Amino acid sequence: MSAAPQDPPPELRVCALLREAVGWDRLVVVVARDVDTRAALRGSDPVLEGYCDLQQTLLQGPSLDAFTWGAPVLVDDLHARLPWPLLSSATPPDLPVRSVAVLPLLVPAGAPTDRPGATDGPGPPGAPGPALGVLTAGRDRVDPFTQAQVSVLTHLAAVVSALLVHRAATGELVAVDVAPNDDLAVAAGMLAEHLGTTAGEAKSRMRAHAFTSGRTLNGLARAVLDGEVAVGDVAHPR
């Protein structure tokens, strides 16, 4: 029997068991097929989810690096000089999160790489599959995560990945705990039709407009679909 919608999903319940041992103020679990096809697990922290949205908009940041490289990324202080200049300049000064540890959610070795919506086949025996998202733990103070804590989080990420793969295969994950974000695809399609171009070019236009207007990419997509921002204004900014 699946959990009631108001209950924390099993992945976050597992994470909660280790919260005291590792120590974090915020946690977000994001499942993804690629950079633009992603959604946070129900019950994730909205502040960290917004920070992930900002990284998606700018195509840079610790979450994207962990997802792309398949390795943990640690940031001791988000207010320090970071290797992501656009992200640093666009991060709100009042963002409460200061230290983060980002762990890739790797498909377990030998398991089909059927990330939600993906169609890849099984990976080679003994090798981890591609990342199906990231787990980000955040602290509202400058308190870097230790290597021992990162090791615990890495094992936790493996358990979360196994749960996600199992529930995605049964259909429960998307039906209950992940609301597919179709806003971006729909808005990009509208803009592509308006411009007579590809969805990729449309998303590039949307990223530029989102950055200059102080929105995130997903926030801009919702604004377009809600009629707050005209497609023409995104296509031909004043």
* Tens of pLDDT, residues 176-234: 677 666 777 787 788 888 888 888 888 888 888 887 888 887 787 788 888 888 888 88
CATH number, residue 84: 3.30.450.40
- Give the total number of structural domains in the chain: 2
With CA atoms as reference, report the closest residue to 82 among 70, 99, 57, 105. Answer: 99
Domain closes at, from 177, 201, 217? 177
pLDDT value at 153 more than 80: yes
Residue 125 burial (C-beta neighbours within 10 Å; 0-12, 13-18, 19+):
exposed
Judge whether 58 lies within some domain.
yes
Of 177, 197, 225, the domain-final residue? 177
Lowest-pLDDT range of 56-70, 83-97, 161-175, 211-225: 211-225
CB 113 within 8 A of CB 127: no
Domain that holds residue 205: 183-235
Between strands 99-106 and 131-139, the pairing is antiparallel
Per residue in 76-117, pLDDT (tens digit) is 999 999 999 999 999 999 999 999 999 999 988 766 554 554
**Are residue 89 and residue 28 in the same domain, yes or no?**
yes
In a domain, 1, yes or no: no
Same domain assignment for residues 103 and 148: yes
Domain match, 124 and 203 both: no
Prediction pTM value: 0.82
Instruction: Please list, in sequence order, all residues whose beta carbon lies within 8 angstroms of the beta carbon of residue 143, skipping any fewer than 6 positions away.
Output: 23, 98, 99
Residue type at 79 in one-letter notation: H
